[in-house]
């Protein structure tokens, strides 16, 4: 089960809202205060979270986010394993995939970290992937973006806004960000570069410690960045990752020296990493054909061989060959019947074959064992919907959304479930939540008005009206900050 939120545009408007917020924040002071170690005097934790939430709404509206529950669950688990080993964590982290073949990863206000699908395709081990995520976690935990605002405290508010805006643009679209940066004052640009180098070194050191503590191979960091530096040494166009995270021979040598002083794990289970990588390369990036996957199945590394078989099952399913996909996946499912990667593809195969009862029975068994697992729950809800059981789908999704209320895929599913049930009021209410998560406050308010007209009880109408007023207040606060 997978949904790709398509890219519509990445322009300067992507950062416009945040720029206006920061401009207002800077204008409220005659002079920015002295910066502290964690940037607390520049921006409070609460305001940073507010900025992060707002920016994430803009990212959802513009970037090609891969709403793929099995990949989301893998990335969330991997990221949180690193966060647990981090110091100075002040808020929950959120990890998401951007479906672009560029090699890139970026972090912004409030603990949001985006990973391009092109990054996992380029890595050769889970430790390499984890090293990049640990680096981004370090940027967030040390509040580098906030602290960089303090380095420009002697510049005017407009200059601060311009530099921070170009940095934000660089996260998602490095070419646009670097072009925007060139429009700022040369002296301020140099200050920004110097601070970027300092922060990169700090993120290297902290990220490496985090990596080793979490049980990954610390050599993953110098291996990955060293290989990227060598691969693109003479390239006329650098990948996004190296544009926003410049590396040097000295920096790689320092990281490798530090890594050599740290313990290395003797054995690591990387089976889920290889399944995630082959899923990305087969379904999202379309990089692997049948010959490549068949060849992988013969690999002496059993994790790669299983991932090749798994990728082939995905390819056959996506080519409308569900019977062949069923046969291909069967050996994997027999050996590991509770593996969420396999259950996800098996569900889609059974639905394509219209074997709804089998799909529901399989997912009910898995759900009883793991009721909070995203992949199982969302596949169960989707299968129920396809089987003509919207009430079951709604019950599953309402319970899940009580724990993860901003899950876009779950909200989209429950909208469809209420539509099939004929409950227009509830459908419009959840539609409002979806609009709000994408920064569309006017559309969200209009949907709530439509839900209000369709509601049948006075109590329900009062609740919806309260929600309208809440959204209007959020919109007013945003406009005041602009």
What DSSP designation does 299 have?
Answer: -
Q: Is 204 a catalytic residue?
A: yes
Torsion of CA 259, 260, 263, 267, to 10 degrees: 90
Residues 6+ apart with CB under 8 A from 247: 225, 228, 229
The reply, when asked if residue 139 is annotated as ligand binding, is: yes
Structure tokens at 404: 């993860």
Structure tokens at 180: 């925007």
Residue of 48, 68, 126, 204 marked active site: 204
Residue given tokens 């396809």 in the structure block? 386
The reply, when asked if residue 270 is annotated as ligand binding, is: no
What DSSP designation does 111 have?
Answer: G
Q: Where are the beta strands (DSSP E) in 309-355?
A: none
Contact 131, 95 (CB under 8 A): no
Separate counts of helices (H) and strands (E) for the chain: 24, 5
How many beta carbons lie within 10 A of that of residue 131, not counting itself?
A: 29
Measured CA distances, 56 to 4, 40, 71, 82, 475 (Å): 16, 22, 19, 21, 16
As a whole number of angstroms, the distance between CA 100 and CA 272 comes to 21
The reply, when asked if residue 284 is annotated as ligand binding, is: no
Q: What angle do CA 438, 443, 446 make, to 5 degrees?
A: 145
Residue of 136, 270, 348, 386 marked active site: 136
Measured CA distances, 66 to 117, 120, 290, 411 (Å): 9, 14, 23, 15
Q: Where are the beta strands (DSSP E) in 379-437?
A: none
DSSP 364-412: HHHHHH-TT-HHHHHHHHHHHHHTT-HHHHHHHHHHHHTT-TT-HHHHH
- Dmax of the chain from CA atoms? 69
As a whole number of angstroms, the distance between CA 104 and CA 265 comes to 27
Quote the radius of gyration of the chain (alpha carbons, Å).
Answer: 24
Measured CA distances, 187 to 52, 197, 211, 246 (Å): 28, 16, 36, 20
Measured CA distances, 333 to 47, 198, 341 (Å): 47, 48, 10
Structure tokens at 422: 């004929």
Q: Is 136 a catalytic residue?
A: yes
As a whole number of angstroms, the distance between CA 181 and CA 186 comes to 9
Residues annotated as part of the active site: 136, 204
Binding residues for Zn(2+): 135, 139, 200
């Amino acid at each position: 089960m997978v949904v790709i939120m398509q890219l519509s545009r990445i322009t300067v408007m992507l950062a416009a809202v945040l720029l206006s917020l920061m401009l207002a924040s800077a204008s409220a002071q005659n002079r920015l205060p002295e910066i502290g170690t964690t940037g607390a005097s520049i921006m409070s934790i609460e305001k940073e979270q507010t900025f992060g939430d707002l920016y994430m709404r803009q990212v959802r509206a513009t970037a090609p986010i891969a709403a793929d529950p099995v990949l989301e669950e893998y990335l969330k688990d991997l990221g949180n394993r690193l966060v647990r080993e981090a110091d100075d964590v002040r808020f929950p982290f959120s990890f998401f995939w951007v479906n672009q073949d560029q090699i890139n990863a970026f972090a912004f206000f409030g603990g949001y970290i985006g990973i391009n699908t092109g990054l996992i395709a380029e890595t050769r081990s889970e430790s390499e992937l984890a090293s990049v995520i640990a680096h981004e976690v370090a940027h967030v935990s040390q509040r580098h973006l906030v602290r960089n605002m303090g380095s420009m405290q002697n510049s005017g508010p407009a200059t601060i806004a311009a530099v921070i805006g170009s940095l934000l643009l660089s996260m998602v679209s490095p070419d646009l960000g670097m072009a925007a940066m060139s429009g700022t004052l040369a002296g301020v640009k140099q200050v920004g570069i110097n601070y970027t180098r300092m922060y990169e070194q700090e993120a290297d050191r902290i990220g490496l410690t985090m990596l080793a503590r979490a049980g990954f191979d610390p050599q993953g960091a110098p291996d990955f960045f060293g290989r990227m530096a060598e691969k693109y040494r003479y390239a006329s166009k650098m990948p996004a990752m190296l544009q926003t995270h410049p590396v040097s021979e000295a920096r790689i040598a320092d990281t490798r020296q530090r890594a050599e002083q740290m313990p290395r794990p003797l054995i690591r289970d990387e089976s889920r990493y290889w399944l995630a990588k082959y899923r990305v390369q087969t379904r999202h990036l379309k990089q692997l054909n049948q010959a490549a996957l068949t060849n992988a199945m013969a690999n002496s590394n059993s994790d790669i061989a299983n991932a090749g078989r798994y990728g082939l099952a995905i390819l056959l399913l996506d080519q409308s060959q569900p019977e062949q996909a069923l046969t291909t996946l069967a050996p994997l499912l027999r050996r590991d019947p509770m593996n969420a990667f396999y259950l996800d593809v098996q569900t889609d195969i059974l639905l394509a074959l219209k074997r709804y009862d089998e799909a529901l029975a399989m997912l009910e068994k898995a759900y009883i064992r793991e009721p909070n697992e995203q992949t199982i729950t969302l596949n169960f809800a989707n299968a129920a919907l396809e089987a003509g059981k919207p009430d079951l789908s709604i019950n599953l999704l309402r319970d899940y959304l009580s724990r993860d209320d901003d899950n876009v895929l779950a909200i989209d599913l429950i909208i469809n479930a209420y539509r099939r049930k004929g409950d227009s009021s509830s459908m419009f209410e959840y539609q409002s939540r979806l609009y709000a998560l994408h920064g569309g406050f006017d559309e969200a308010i209009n949907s709530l008005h439509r839900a209000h007209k369709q509601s049948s009880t006075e109590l329900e109408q009062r609740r919806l009206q309260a929600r309208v007023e809440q959204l209007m207040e959020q919109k007013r606060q945003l406009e005041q900050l602009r």
